[in-house]
Amino acid sequence: MIRDRGRIKWTSMMLPEHVKMLRDWVKEDSYEQKKELDEQQLEMMNETLMEAMEFNQAVAITYYRGRNYERCTGNVHYWDELAHKLHMIDSSGNAHLIPINTIADIRLAEK
C-alpha cells in the first residue's frame, strides 16, 4: 500500500517564497466578485431602508468589503448624504459606517 503524505513530502524542496505564493493563490480563490445591481433591485432596497428608518426596525445589510461579502444586522441610525455612507448601530452597540455603493442587499431582520 502506498502511503502518500501529500504536501509534506514536497515542502522540503520548495522555497519559502513559493510556499507563500501558493498560500496567496489559494486565498485568492475564495475572493468574491462584486455584483452589479439593476434599477429595480436598488428601488426595492431603498423602500426597505426608508421603511426601516421610519419605523425604527432592524435590518440585515449585506455589503462588499475586502473582496468578500459581509453581513451586518442592526438599526439604521442615519444616512449621510454628503459622504454617501449609512450609519448603523448593531445589536451590541457598535457603530458601522457602510458606503452606499458597496451595499448588495437590504432586508428587514427577523427578531
Residue 15 lies in a domain: no
Predicted model pTM: 0.73
Q: Is residue 64 in a domain?
A: yes
Would you say residue 18 lies in a domain? no
Q: Give a yes or no: residue 89 inside a domain.
A: yes
- Average pLDDT along the chain, 111 residues, taken 10 residues at a time: 60 78 86 88 94 93 92 92 94 92 92 63
> Any idea what the CATH number is for the domain that residue 72 is in?
2.30.30.100
The pLDDT assigned to 32 comes to: 84
69 falls within a domain? yes
Rounded Cα–Cα distance for residues 63 and 50 (Å): 18
Residue 3 in domain: no
Question: How many other CB atoms sit within 10 Å of the CB of residue 79?
Answer: 16
Number of domains in the chain: 1
User: What's the rounded Cα separation, in Å, for the pair 45 and 65?
Assistant: 19
Residue 33 and residue 84 in contact, taking contact as beta carbons nearer than 8 Å: no
Q: pLDDT at position 3, please? A: 64
Which cell numbers hold the place of 74?
A: 442592526
pLDDT at 1: 54
For residue 85, the enclosing domain spans 39-108
The answer to whether residue 10 sits within a structural domain is no
